[in-house]
């Protein structure tokens, strides 16, 4: 169980950072794009490892929801994007869903 939580956490962190760098890139040949692409690709490899360990019906909603929440936070902290009340409510619902699904593992 600890390994699965660690892999999920690593997937979300690596993929979110990759998406942040891709968003920050000034072009396809920029350093930010290359780093972002590498991290997002590494996130895919971690995702594959997660898929081989747990049922798809469990891991996909958790991974997708976690990535949505993480990208909201990254957008707010690093890109200055607004998080409105409706975003906060959505994040709360996603986190509640993740908890409900995760207790099934």
Q: What is the pLDDT along the chain (105 residues), one digit of tens a residue?
A: 788 889 989 999 999 999 999 999 999 999 999 999 999 999 999 999 999 988 998 889 989 999 999 999 999 999 999 999 999 999 999 999 988 987 765
32 neighbors 21 (Cβ within 8 angstroms): yes
CB atoms within 10 A of CB 90: 15
Question: What's the confidence (pLDDT) of residue 3?
Answer: 85
Tens digit of pLDDT for each residue in 22-34? 999 999 999 999 9
Q: Rounded distance, CA 31 to CA 72, Å?
A: 23
The runs of H, that is alpha helices, within the chain are 2-24, 31-53, 56-79, 85-102
Q: Rounded distance, CA 37 to CA 20, Å?
A: 10
């Amino acid at each position: 169980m600890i390994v699965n939580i660690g892999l999920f956490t690593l997937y979300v962190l690596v993929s979110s950072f990759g998406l942040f760098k891709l968003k920050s890139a000034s072009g396809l040949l920029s350093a930010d794009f290359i780093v972002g692409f590498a991290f997002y690709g590494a996130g895919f490899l971690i995702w594959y490892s997660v898929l081989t360990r747990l049922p798809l019906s469990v891991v996909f909603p958790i991974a997708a929801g976690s990535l949505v929440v993480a990208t909201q936070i990254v957008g707010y902290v690093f890109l200055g994007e607004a998080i409105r009340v409706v975003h906060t409510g959505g994040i709360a619902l996603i986190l509640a869903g993740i908890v409900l699904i995760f207790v099934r593992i």
